[in-house]
Amino acid sequence: MELGSIWVVLAVIFGGLGVGKWILKKVNWWLYEAELGEKQYSLPPGDLGWPFIGNMWSFLRAFKSSDPDSFMRIFINKYTANFSFSTSLSFLFMYIHISWHFRSSSFPLGMMPFHHSSLFPGEVAIRYGNNGIYKAFMFGNPSIFVTTPEACRKVLSNDDAFKPGWPISTLKLVGRKSFIGISYEEHKRLRRLTSAPVNGHEALSVYIPYIEENVIAMLEKWTTMGKIEFLTQMRKLTFRIIMYIFLSSESEVVMEALEKDYTTLNYGVRAMAINLPGFAYYKALKARKRLVAIFQSIVDERRNLRKNGALNTKKKDMMDSLLGVEDEKGRKLTDEEIIDVILMYLNAGHESSGHITTWATIFLQEHPEFLQKAKEEQEQIVKRRPPAQKGLSLKEVREMDYLSKVIDETLRLITFSLTVFREAKTDFCINGYIIPKGWKVLVWFRTIHLDPEIYPNPKEFNPSRWDNYNPKPGTFLPFGAGSRLCPGNDLAKLEISIFLHYFLLDYRLERENPECRWMFLPHTRPTDNCMARIKKVSSKSV
């Protein structure tokens, strides 16, 4: 076979592959953009990715690597410098084909009549720029990323234009009657009925002694256990606390079973919704079913106790409050509402607190100057305490000015919840681009919290950056914003503050693998779950 024939065959093969790839990359455009008509030309820049999976592969690949921010850089960077081997090979054969085709013409090298980025979109050149709003296809839906403070503020504060937009797969796991799945009116009602027992001044004051008791006992116990997975133990501690607050349960067997199912549930929330045996989402659905069955049995038992007048009125927990509460129209909460609220609070109340407390402890131990400053503040609080007072008061917790900065800096740097979902109720314009009605909006907190223009040296832990600094609206969003601000944020910060208070006074953390890599799904954590020893540094009792 002549050389020319070989080039023709190769050109046909690789040209066919290129055309096939181009067609596949256009499927989501045909399904979701073309139907918009003229409005499609006002969409933000971006790429809807492959059919069905969209940009999820890029998301999972980035967040399972050591550089999760590489995912958003695909949209922000002007050009990507990384060529995969397959892309480079395809590009080479395309060049050979065109070189052969124009072998007798006088085109110079840089003037070959093709544009490689149009042949290989998303792999060779990205031209979207840093405008803070991009189109994508995430979790089975055409979506818009918003990544600037102003754009995020507009989305989160406008309940007329946006409603909760969490994927159906997520709602199946966390519950359609949880805070993230209900309308603005339902959310307002449910928040009003549940906020006082969780975040109210009286409630927080009541929780302090129990939190203290468990923190002190666990710290002492950990010193005798040798090497421990510090994150795992922290999650168990925070789960024990939240279980007592909501269900008055201290059963080790029950708590261990529930905590295990919650871990499985969380792995499924950010996985692809593949409901087949062996996949994370399938396992998460099974875990939710077990959790709901347990909570339903507790609800049934409590209702029977109330009916028979056998309920302990002196020792009320959150479950009792939810069973008895009524709105202004005399409506009580249904079993489904109670179970979904309890399931959500127990999950958020131990996962976020456990992870952030772990990271705050790690960061302080890695930065002796910040640790010393935080420790001195706690020592001063103890010195100012009246002799008759035993333990912390809510007033003292609110005087922990520097420790509050430590917690805020940890919340910023770790960004426990990297995004929230909204859905456009109507066509809405931001920065000159349209967000079509029905499209999802992903408010991407992580990009804001790590923006060097907002936070200089953003990947450095530096609590002092908060000195005399009041973040502008939309620049600090660890608990969301607007009417759907996380309802348990005060309780979470209380738990973290109490633990750090006692840890700083009397203990230190000695990590086994201080240089170990980080993982980012479902939440940011050390790959070894912070294998460490807890050592006592003072015999002084507080």
What residue ranges do the domains of the chain occupy?
Answer: 173-536
Q: What pLDDT does residue 44 have?
A: 94
pLDDT attached to residue 309:
78
Report the chain's terminal Cα–Cα distance, integer Å. Answer: 89
Q: What pLDDT does 443 receive?
A: 95
Q: Could you tell me the sign of the dihedral formed by the alpha carbons of 36, 131, 128, 479, in that order?
A: negative
Determine the pLDDT at residue 533.
98
Three-state secondary structure call for residue 297: helix
Helix or strand or coil: residue 301?
Answer: helix
The upper half-sphere exposure of residue 486, i.e. CA atoms within 13 Å in the direction of its Cβ, equals 21
Superfamily the domain 173-536 falls into: Cytochrome P450 (1.10.630.10)
Distance CA 301, CA 309 (A): 12
Residue ranges of the alpha helices (H) in 29-84? 56-63, 70-76
Q: Which residue has the tokens 């993230």?
A: 180
Q: Provide the pLDDT for residue 508.
A: 97
Q: What is the DSSP string of 126-182?
A: ----S-SEEEEEETTEEEEEE-SHHHHHHHHH-TTTEEE---HHHHHHH-TTSGGGS
Q: What tokens does 203 get?
A: 């409630």
Rounded Cα–Cα distance for residues 355 and 523 (Å):
8
31 touches 48 (CB < 8 A): no
Longest Cα–Cα distance in the chain: 99
- Tell me which DSSP letter residue 33 carries: I
Pairing status of strand 433-435 against strand 162-164: unpaired
Does the annotation place 486 within a ligand binding site? yes
What is the pLDDT tens value at each position of the chain, 542 positions in all?
A: 565 677 666 676 777 767 666 666 777 888 898 889 999 889 999 989 888 889 999 999 999 999 999 999 988 874 334 444 444 444 444 444 444 444 444 433 333 333 333 333 333 344 466 788 999 999 889 999 999 999 999 999 999 999 989 888 888 998 888 877 777 778 777 777 777 666 677 778 888 999 999 999 999 999 999 999 999 999 999 999 988 888 887 677 778 888 889 889 988 887 888 899 999 999 999 999 999 999 999 899 888 888 887 766 556 778 888 888 787 788 888 899 889 888 888 877 788 899 999 999 999 999 999 999 999 999 999 999 998 898 999 999 999 999 999 999 999 999 998 899 999 999 999 989 999 999 999 999 999 999 999 999 999 999 999 998 888 888 998 887 766 667 678 888 999 999 999 999 999 999 999 999 999 988 899 999 999 999 999 645 44
pTM: 0.82
What's residue 124's pLDDT? 37
DSSP label at 472? P
The pLDDT of residue 381 is 96
